[in-house]
Structure 1
Amino acid sequence: MHREVYSQPWEYRDLTTGTPGDLRPVVVPHDAVLALPRVADPRQMASGYFPGGKWEYRTRIFAPAHWRDRHVVLEFEAVHRSAVVFVNGDLAGRQPSGSTSLVVELDAFLRYGVENEVVVETRADRDARWYTGGGIIRPVHIVVAPRAHIPLDGVVVTTPEHDAESSLVQIMTTVRNLAPVPVVRWLETSLSSPSGDVVGVDRARVSVPACGEAQVSQRILVDAPRRWSVDTPELYRATSLLTSGAGDETQADRSDVVFGIRSLHLDPRRGLRVNGQPVKLRGACVHADNGVIGGATFDAAEERRVAILKSAGFNAIRSAHQPMSRAMLDACDRIGMLVMDELTDVWTKAKSPEDGSDAFLDRWPSELEAMIRKDRNHPSVIMYSIGNEIPEAATRSGSELTRAMAAATRALDPTRYVTAAVNGALFVMDGAVDVDPERLGGASLEAVAEINTRSMSLEDRMSALALTDAVAELTEEAYGALDIAGMNYQEARYVLDHERYPNRVIVGSETFPTRIDRLWGLVLANPHVIGDFTWTGWDYLGEPGLGRMHYRDGEPGGGALGAYPFLISFAGDIDITGERRPASYFREIVFGLRSEPFIAVRRPHTRGREMKAAPWSWTDSIPSWTWPDAGSDPLEVEVYSDAAEVELFAAGSSLGRQPAGVAHGYRALFEVPYAPGRLEALAVRDGVPTERTVLRTAGTDRRLALSAELSDQDAGGHRLAFVVVELVDDAGVRATDGDLEVEVDIDGPGVLQGFGSARPETEESFVDSRHRLYDGRALAVIRATGSGRIVVTASTPGLPSAYVEVRAG
């Protein structure tokens, strides 16, 4: 089967109130939640104070008469959530999950020679601990195939044997016959190199029983293979053509699979190896939303995220906590990014009122299979996570389910590793899980109780609990069922576990960003620890204010999350517009990928205030030397560097040297009286100044500046332009103090898909054309609606308008 993006028009309407609204045209993918007014309701805190809703989507499919002898499928990559599909009024399919594909076979419902009405009903409300969006959030495909065909995801390509001289490529193809009589078909599979040259062909005869399936195994030897890796993401293509052998093209079917030739090895002595080379995972946990365009998944937005993450030094992504989109998987293949694809955030114990945990035991086999069938030809995917912080994993029934899911994963794909993101401290933190004392053996709950009564930071409490015998024994069976022990916030166990379980391989599946200097040291020092995934690599909507700054003199809102109007988590290395925050540059230095120092200046309002322990918070600092309201007290300036010392200069005068580098947490702190001009940091190695970084004050003559990046057209015909809007001086220095309200206007074949800034708390809407800049910056995403010249204009009172032009088509 060959997927084609379904391109017929859609309409939708709101059903939330019980009285259907008017049908309106809509482009799919579509996030119906993003345009809803937010509410100051604590029950909606997790979603960023967006309410839930119920929606109906409609489209019409003309079925020509010759489709009577064809097999027609409509595939929804994801509908969030609880989707029900009707065709001509009849129930044709349903999918409770908001991130698992829904395949609707239309043959029994179509009326030929006329249009057929397809109706999709979906709802979403308080079903996750973060913002998910709602509606048909990922692409829809239509497939029209002969009765004897290759089913969706019916080709599996593996590379079981290869070296520098040759690679054996094995292609397993399922051929399905829906006809009531047996058929004979010919399957020809050709392999194309990354350059497009055909490098191998195999042809096989296959007899397929009536209303049955046949499996075809083909092995093709490829000379001088170009192996896929993070640094060399070389991609091959397997094209499978199924024919009758009689020249009847109406009976032909085709499947194209992009794959990579690479090997994986794993052991506690040499860690993870890709193509025989050791790899440490510099990982980012990433949620599914795309910032100002919400939960809608467009190829260009996914590719942009992966490219920016890689440029920031990451080489791996964990899809927290739902299966990754096909678009992001494709981008990881092309760009060179390793993937831990994660199935779910919940099993049988609810974390949100409507998260589907009540039906998990019935649903997990099909949802797990759908994820693995989606992933198994992607060279970027190296491991599957079967769950995140599952509390029942500490119980007998949870351990049994862990084993069952791990076994099912290996049966579906024996070429990749199985993990789960486990936070053992949560099993015993303040009695979070009702644990059977018999499972603890000789471990004493008294030690756990004593730790829970101490006054300490969250991260210190988690570390102390992680070291207890109780956590070791409660996680023992679950980890024993996995190939890789995923540890959330349990780095205290890394060395201890190797002594206790010498064959265990560990990955830091979720870690505090503030501890990356210590965490990365542990990763490098311990071969059995294969990497670190920070929470979080890219900022996201929902869990509002998780990464906001806490101070000991108090703050409005309080609690782990921020009160309304907080919207964004504010815990990402990279903000929702795609700009790297100071933590990202600090991490790059720790990874050993940046030699230049980095300057981050704490905002004046934080001066003299002591930060409370906030494990997902960075200091409230930005790379700016534009502080006209700073006053006379000195500003706190952080300089990040791997050099043993850094020297700071203000207006050309040295302010002295401070120790930095690994021995001092890669960070030096200076107090600097503010004066406009130039702030310069030098890395000092062996007493000699080397690399340098400079900040300059923005002048008073300012203007708006626009820059645009236009994507290629994706399979659905969508092209996005990402337009960065900034306030700058006449030298191009960004004026971070100028948070003006800016309006964007579009002339030509384009519409505003989303517009906004990285401001963590706001009452503005991403669907409006007006937004305040944040630190002098915002992002507008324009979707082309046709070919031609698109002019994007930004304006604000008191300054000349600025524009940028892109040409679509």
Structure 2
Amino acid sequence: MLGLGWICWALVVSVQGERVVASFNDGWSFQLGEVPEPARYEPVKVPHDWSVAFPFSTNGTGGCTAFLPGGVGWYEKRFELPPAFRGRRVRIDFDGVYNNAEVWLNGKKVGERPYGYIPFSFDLTPFLNQAGENTMVVKADRSAYMDCRWYPGSGIYREVQWVAHEEVYVEQYGLFVTTVSNERVRVETTLVNDSSQAVALDVEIDLQEADGRSAAFQVSSVSLAAGERKQVVAFLSLPQASVWSPETPYLYRAEVSVQQELNCVDRVATLFGVRDLQYDPARGFFLNGERTVLKGVCLHHEGGAVGAAVPDDVWERRLRYLKEMGANAIRTAHNPPSRAFLDLCDRMGFLVQDEAFDEWFNPKDKKYNFNQRVTDERSIGYSEQFGAWAERDVKAMVLRDRNHPSIIMWSIGNEIEWTYPRYGNATGYWNKPRVANYYWDLPPHDLATRKEIFEATAPGEHVLAETADALAQWIKEVDDSRVVTANVVMPSVSYFSGYIDALDIVGYSYRTVLNEWGGEHYPDKLIVGTENWPQWNEWRGVLENEHIAGLFIWTGIDYLGESRSWPKRSTESGLMSTAGFRKPAYWFFKSLWNDEPMVRLNTQRLIDSNYKRVNGEIVENPDNPRDKKWWWPHLKRHWNYDQHEPIYVEVHSNCEEVELFVNERSLGCRVPMESEDRMVRWSVPFAAGALKAVGRNDGQVVTEEVLKTAGEPVGIQLSPDRRVVEADGVSVVHVEAQLIDAAGNAVRHVDQMVS
């Protein structure tokens, strides 16, 4: 048995020149209820997810959101203005409040934001008491407790900060750095003059190396009339720049100082990376001139037991394991992530597809995830707000995130065609009787028939292609340095409907069967697998087709929600568990994506496996075939069975040859590259002792792994992932607990309560 615990122990004030940026996470109180009562507030620290603190239950919950409750939450914070904030413009930044946030200050409504995954800000200046106490109240409304197809969390679940600056300042997200070439960058600074007087300014730009040394410096002079907003653009050279890549995630710092009469009136800074992105429809994705295949995973935003308010250290451990596996890319399914998550991707070297929405005008069914047009008051989602908020929300995502070098593409939506019936009708896959399998077969109708059926079906109130075009254009208005994609689930119709015309890159959702077809019929669009099964066939589809830029496995990590039946609370398609334990699929993809020699042993009773022994060979059992989609067999990591019982042994390895031993007796060699699915297998009569796999390259042993028969558990081995942790209220140490026997062997065949 293996267990995991979290130990959490608080954060941040930073001052940038004349601007003050400070954490606003402390000092909050919280209560649940339709109407707040002053006496019921209890202290909390944000980020805070109230739903995950409740027990799992079927009462007033749904499987889509992990059988955890919603409700209406109220946050209150009483504070006085610090001296550095008085007499200045004050803004508050929420990185995410789920859901339907409303904010009041001193009894007056400041604003609202329905979409729970999007950052938003308000100018507090007109509402503040310069002297004395201020009271802020934030309402988060998740009365629709099945408002998402996965677990979203509830409340102020991301960071909050506030900012004080003068009337002449750099606009929020107004510093934008882009790479012109690997030795030249463009710096765009948006200045605002909210004073009643014209001003003359000097804008100093300092590009700094990672160690703080200045790498380039430039000064521009500009004048602003009263009330004017103006962009200042400068080009700076960085000779022999260190480029950003997954292998070398080098970060520069751009600092902009705004000087008025030799006084600094504002100073802002951002990290950025120098990198060149190129997309070739015939040859794939190129980073800094080198073809780079995307070895990606899809990730939801929550962190398992900690819910949606995920400490940075939890994400760091998860991402570190994915990096060790060989992954170099992440798709943020199906919503914008936190700023802190993207900061980690920048530092650790991940390529990111930043996704905006799971639904547009038409709702998806959250309750059963099947009939995509069914909804009720319990499952009202973003589609209700899309028309009024989509432009503001997608631009907010891009403006906040556009300086992150990790982001290489924007996604405007996930599998949107499901909610537009004319798309599915035109494919022909769901005709009665069925003549083709959607997952494994080419479209049953020819192009002319698909077009005829599509045109004969009323488009409905909203035309998908027109919405896609609007979303793509809104993104380009604030960032034209990256491409736009979407997770397209019916490309055989979307190519000609106008939907894909709005995209720079086509994202295929479980459409590996169309890899060659898409390249042949629509060669002007690069394809990337934006959602793929964790199977060899999916990766082979990338290796065999140069016009496929890579893939994103569903999913890198198990996630809460999207469950159809109690008591199952999570979806287990991940390469890792919600606790961050690495599953067999993880090690299989490590054997495909990481060149460091490795072997990984897995065992299972042959009778429980998907295989049987026929004439001395291990073949798939047609009566119990292996799943070819999301689910992997429940393979074990132990060597404890009944004596002489037939045991199925599966080894994942990137070595040229693998030899298996039981108690030092060889059971022969296998070659992974000669296996149809790149795994090697044996059927072994169990004998207590040791099972060993040896990996060889060029005839030399380069790695091995041993599973030993364990005795009864007599102790627990605790393994922390760090020895020193900051007592700051936010840092985390993960402690793995492993049962061991008297000889110190891991006991993995026993599930035992520990007290």
TM interval, shorter chain, is 0.7 to 0.9
Q: Which residue of 2 aligns with 1:740?
A: 752
Are 2:540 and 1:512 equivalent residues in the alignment? no
1:512 Cα offset (Å) = 1.1
Whether the aligned pair in 1 keeps the contact of 2:638 and 2:749 (CA below 8 Å) is no
Per-residue CA shift, 1:695-734, capped at 9, x if unaligned?
A: 2223335311222235998998632222222222355432
CA spacing shift, 1:611–1:27, aligned 2, 3 Å: farther
Matched, 1:499 2:520: yes
Relative distance call for 1:712 and 1:383 in structure 2 (3 A) is: farther
User: Structure 2: how far apart are the matches of 1:380 and 1:714?
Assistant: 27
Q: Does 1:149 align with 2:169?
A: yes
Question: Structure 1 residues 603, 108: closer, same or farther in 2, change over 3 A?
Answer: farther
How far 1:321 moved relative to its partner? 0.5
Tell me whether 332-341 or 586-595 shows the greater mean CA deviation: 586-595
Specify which of 607, 613, 616 is matched with residue 630 of structure 2. 616
Residue in 2 aligned with 1:199? 215
CA distance in structure 1 between the aligned counterparts of 2:206 and 2:555, rounded to whole angstroms: 41
Distance change in 2, residues 1:150/1:736 (3 Å): same
CA–CA distance in 2 between the matches of 1:233 and 1:732? Answer: 39
- Pick aligned residue for 2:286 from 244, 269, 273: 273
Q: Residues 297 and 686 (structure 1 numbering): CA distance in 2 closer, same or farther, change over 3 Å?
A: closer
Q: Does 1:417 align with 2:470?
A: no
SS of the residue corresponding to residue 664 of structure 1 reads: coil
CA contact (8 A) 1:81 1:122 kept: yes
Separation (CA, whole Å) in 2 of partners of 1:567 and 1:62? 43
Which residue identity does 2:217 align to in structure 1?
V
State the Cα distance separating 1:266 from its structure 2 match. 0.8
Matches within 5 A, 1:141-220: 141-162=161-182, 167-220=183-236
CA–CA distance in structure 2, aligned partners of residues 46 and 374 of structure 1:
29
Alignment of 1:398-409 (within 5 A): 398-409=464-475
> For residue 330 of structure 2, what is the aligned residue in structure 1?
317
Comparing both chains, which one has the higher relative contact order based on Cα–Cα distances under 8 Å and sequence gaps of 6 or more? 2
After the TM superposition, which residues 337-356 of structure 1 pair with which residues of structure 2 at under 5 Å, given as runs? 337-351=350-364, 352=366, 353-356=379-382
Structure 1 residues 89, 603: CA separation in 2 closer, same or farther (over 3 Å shift)?
farther
* Offset at residue 11 of structure 1 (A): 0.7
Structure 2 counterparts to residues 717-796 of structure 1, below 5 A = 718-742=730-754, 796=755
- Helix, strand or coil for the counterpart of 2:750? coil
CA distance in structure 1 between the partners assigned to 2:166 and 2:548 by the alignment: 49
Does 2:348 correspond to 1:329? no
Q: Which residue of 2 aligns with 1:482?
A: 503
State the distance in 2 between where 1:231 and 1:715 align.
32
Could you tell me which residue of structure 1 aligns to residue 112 of structure 2? 94
* One-letter identity of the residue aligned with 1:739: D
Q: TM-score, normalised by structure 2?
A: 0.84
User: Aligned-pair distance for 1:302?
Assistant: 2.4
Deviations 1:256-307 (CA, angstroms, capped at 9, x unpaired): 1000111011112331111001100000000000112110032222222222
Residue of 106, 131, 141 corresponding to 2:151: 131
Code of the residue aligned with 1:179 in structure 2: it is S
| Matched letter for residue 33 of structure 1 | S
CA distance in 1, matches of 2:285, 2:628: 32
Is the alpha carbon distance of 1:689 and 1:7 closer, same or farther for their aligned partners in structure 2, counting shifts above 3 Å? closer
Note the C-alpha offset of 1:605: 8.1
Q: CA–CA distance in 1 between the matches of 2:718 and 2:496?
A: 52
Counterpart amino acid of residue 172 in structure 2? L
- 2:415 is equivalent to residue 389 of structure 1: yes
In structure 1, distance between residues paired with 2:172 and 2:97: 18
What is the Cα-based RMSD across aligned positions, in Å? 2.5
Partner of 1:805: none
Query: How do residues 705-716 of structure 1 correspond to structure 2 at under 5 angstroms?
Result: 705-710=717-722
Shift in CA distance, 397/604, structure 1 to aligned 2, threshold 3 Å = same
Q: Secondary structure of 1:741's partner?
A: coil
Query: Residues 431-489 of structure 1: CA distance to partner in whole angstroms, max 9, x if unpaired?
Result: xxxxxxxxxxxxxxxxxxxxxxxxxxxxxxxxxxx7xxxx3466652222211100000
Cα offsets for 1:414-437 (capped at 9, x unmatched): 11111000111xxxxxxxxxxxxx
TM-score (norm 1): 0.79
Give the whole-Å Cα distance in 2 for the aligned partners of 1:315 and 1:594: 15
Correspondence for 1:692: 704
Corresponding residue for 2:648? 636
Which letter maps to 1:700? E
Q: Which residue of 2 aligns with 1:437?
A: none
- 8 Å contact kept, 1:208–1:214: yes
User: Corresponding residue for 2:12?
Assistant: none
- Given that 2:325 and 2:594 are in contact with CA atoms closer than 8 Å, whether structure 1 keeps it comes out as no
Structure 1 pair 418–700 and aligned structure 2 pair: CA distance change class (3 A) = same
2-side partners of 1:688 and 1:735: how far apart?
Answer: 31
Residue by residue over 1:568-593, the C-alpha shift from the partner in whole angstroms, topping out at 9 and shown as x without a partner, is 21111011222211101111112353
Structure-2 separation of matches of 1:581 and 1:662: 24
Deviates further, 63-72 or 306-315? 63-72
Partner of 2:3: none
Give the distance between the partners of 1:192 and 1:732, measured in 2 at CA.
Answer: 51
C-alpha distance in structure 1 between counterparts of 2:242 and 2:713, whole Å: 53
- Aligned-residue sequence identity (percent) comes to 33
Quick one: which of 541, 558, 563 aligns to 1:522?
541
Name the CA distance, whole Å, in 2 between partners of 1:612 and 1:666.
15
Looking at structure 2, the residues matched to 705 and 137 of structure 1 have their Cα atoms a distance apart, in angstroms, of 33
Alpha carbons 2:46, 2:156 under 8 Å: kept = yes
Cα displacement string for residues 611-645 of structure 1 (whole angstroms, at most 9, x for unaligned residues): 57462110111322244xx4753222212234565
How far, CA to CA, are the matches of 1:243 and 1:382 in structure 2?
34
Q: 1:59 aligns with which of 77, 80, 83?
A: 77
The residue type paired with residue 332 of structure 2 is: S
Provide the C-alpha distance between the structure 2 equivalents of 1:303 and 1:686, rounded to a whole number of angstroms: 36
CA distance in 2, matches of 1:223, 1:714: 39
Structure 2, unmatched stretches of 5+, are: 1-18, 367-378, 424-458, 611-622
Determine helix, strand or coil for the equivalent of 2:720. Answer: strand
The number of aligned residues is: 670
Shift of 1:610: 2.2
On the 8 A contact 1:186/1:203 being kept in 2, the answer is yes
Aligned equivalents of 1:592, 1:719: Cα separation in 2: 30
Distance 2:122 2:488 in 1: 35
Question: In structure 2, what is the equivalent of residue 585 of structure 1?
Answer: 587
Q: Is 1:376 matched up with 2:406?
A: no
Match of 1:536 in 2: 555
